[in-house]
Amino acid sequence: MKLEEKLLNKRPTGMAMLLLFGVLYLAAFVAAVGCAVRLENVQGNEFYALTAVVIVAAIWLCTGWLPFMGLKVIKPQEALVLTLFGKYYGTLKGDGFYYVNPFCVAFNPAAKTKLGQSGDVTTEKPSVAAGQNANMKISLKVMTLSNAKQKINDCLGNPVEIGIAVTWRVTDTAKAVFNVDNYKEFLSLQCDTALRDIVRIYPYDMAPNVDTTGDGMADDGSLRGSSEVVAKRIRDKIQEKVSCAGLEIIEARITYLAYAPEIAAAMLQRQQASAIIDARKMIVDGAVGMVEMALERLSQNHTVELDEERKAQMVSNLLVVLCGNKDAQPIVNSGSLY
């Protein structure tokens, strides 16, 4: 059976009903006491009439608390899902003081579950002073779930640690309460599985011959360089999984990303080596360009005529000076060049 949210379009008449029940309670008490006092001095039909009044007033005084159970207080951005004898009765939305069928029961299996801002789902004992209905209310506010960091292998098999923050809210109270056992725990688990599904598609850094989009072509996608794209795919994946629970995923963001500790040092050395190689390539390219320019200028201006052996020696000296890690020590040749 597919349940859809049914809003109870009731006016907030709780205050009027509270005053009415209060007046009836007071009237029953006054009638019971007054009639009980007069019973000693009357006889006949009046005695039976007063006795009937006392019995009715006593019944009301004993059972008059039942209508008070139908009084419900709803704050802004809150909802209350009500059931009547095991069937879905409706949902109260909108702030106000309402009166409903006193036999309706508020239902919310996730009332005791709290989603931590920096940890997994934790369960806390609710305050007794808060009242049953207060505990059973469903918050319609935008909330943030920040699950614990997970260790996941990327598409190259390297273990990485990653954490996400998911912004979400309840849009359909009936689906959230009846379609899943506990919609908060359900959301937390689906966030974990969706994160694993997406992270396994990407490498930590850009890698050759890796297809992250599924189009059969290698691309430059990576967890570190394509965080916006990865976050959007994680958000869409979570939304696909939690739509049956009446939840809306507003945003998903990567809050932590790093290599796992067991390979972090090796990967750091690899990154440093790659950076050194790239820097050396740039230095060599620049040095070769400068040597070519120097030889060309000397040849154009006829400053000095060099044979091939002397050109090779000059190129070697210039490359040593330009590509060396330390400053070169000049040597002045006072003799003949040859």
DSSP 87-149: EEEEEEESSEEEE--TT-EE--TTTTEEE-SSSSEEE-PPPGGG-HHHHT-EE-S-EEEEPPP
The predicted-structure confidence for 137-167, as pLDDT tens digits, reads as follows: 999 999 999 877 888 988 888 899 999 999 9
Alpha carbon of residue 194 to chain centroid: 12
The predicted-structure confidence for 69-114, as pLDDT tens digits, reads as follows: 889 999 999 999 999 998 999 999 988 899 999 999 999 998 888 7
Task: Choose among 142, 182, 148, 144: nearest CA to 163.
Answer: 148
Phi, psi of 44 (to 5 degrees): 75, -140
CB 70 within 8 A of CB 17: yes
pLDDT confidence tier of residue 319, bands split at 50, 70 and 90: confident
Which regions of the chain carry the CATH code 3.30.479.30? 113-259
Least reliable range by pLDDT among 181-185, 207-211, 277-281, 324-328: 324-328
Quick one: tokens of 236? 């869409």
Q: Which fold has domain 113-259?
A: Tetrahydropterin Synthase; Chain A (3.30.479)
pLDDT confidence tier of residue 132, bands split at 50, 70 and 90: very low
Quick one: tokens of 6? 């049914």
User: How far apart, in whole angstroms, are the C-alpha atoms of residue 177 and residue 49?
Assistant: 51
User: How far apart, in whole angstroms, are the C-alpha atoms of residue 76 and residue 10?
Assistant: 16
C-alpha distances out from residue 249 to 83, 180, 199, 243, 253, Å: 27, 17, 18, 9, 11
pTM of this prediction?
0.71
User: How far apart, in whole angstroms, are the C-alpha atoms of residue 80 and residue 151?
Assistant: 38
Greater model confidence, 328 or 170: 170
